[in-house]
Amino acid sequence: MGSNNALVGTWRLVSFELRLQDGTTRHPWGDEVAGQVIYGPDGFMAGSIMKKGRAAFKATDVMAGTPQEFEAAMKSYVGYAGPYSVHGNRILHHAEVSFFPNWTGTDIERFFDVQGSTLALSTLPLVFGGVQGTAVLVWEKRAPYSPLAIYPGEEKYQKQHEGARPPQR
């Protein structure tokens, strides 16, 4: 397993593009994407990317979406996690869990380049949304989280849950 010190940390997605063989570039989810990838010093990683502005399900039950809601959700999100290992400028994500079932239990190969606080991850040619190309994801390193700080929206959450108690076992 490996940790490359420059790679370790939490990264925020800046851009996601698909570079086609003819030299053109596509943005499969448009310019508005969000994501986070975490590389821990313990050799584990987790990553999620999604299209911004995804429609909420009408139901509040995560399992009660309509077929159309599930399809839209599946087509606008990718996430997986597991151990990782570094081999020169290659990184293998050993996916133990994945939103895309075909990746569970497989090694997902990426190429990486860290320049200061910017991480570029790229793939071998793959098919995404019916189009073959090389995916290039650019990430920006996030500052460490301070559990003592108040983050946007947190005050509202605290007021809504004031006095709430965890469920009893």
Bridge partners for 34 per DSSP: 50
Domain range for residue 125? Answer: 9-160
Does residue 1 belong to any structural domain of this protein? Answer: no
Total domains present in the chain: 1
The reported pLDDT for the residue numbered 131 is 86
CA dihedral 115, 118, 120, 121 (to 10 degrees): 120
Does residue 167 belong to any structural domain of this protein? Answer: no
Does residue 165 belong to any structural domain of this protein? Answer: no
pLDDT 10s digits, 48-100:
999 999 999 999 999 999 999 999 999 999 999 999 999 999 999 999 999 99
Does residue 4 belong to any structural domain of this protein? Answer: no
Does residue 168 belong to any structural domain of this protein? Answer: no
Burial of 98-121, coded b for 16+ CB within 10 Å and e otherwise, reads beeeebeebebebebebeeeebbb
Rg over alpha carbons for the chain, rounded to the nearest Å, is 18
- Mean pLDDT for the stretch of residues 34-50: 97
The structure tokens listed for 37 are 């990838």
The reported pLDDT for the residue numbered 67 is 96
Does residue 2 belong to any structural domain of this protein? Answer: no
Q: CATH number for the domain including 149?
A: 2.40.128.280
Does residue 3 belong to any structural domain of this protein? Answer: no
Q: How far is CA 94 from CA 27, 43, 81, 86, in A?
A: 26, 10, 8, 11
pLDDT 10s digits, 114-164:
999 999 999 999 988 888 999 999 999 999 877 767 666 667 666 666 766
More confident residue, 15 or 146: 15
Predicted TM-score of the model (pTM): 0.83
Does residue 133 belong to any structural domain of this protein? Answer: yes
Q: Which amino acid is at 71?
A: E
Contacts of 1 (CB under 8 A, 6+ apart): 42, 43, 44, 83, 84, 85
- Mean pLDDT for the stretch of residues 2-21: 89
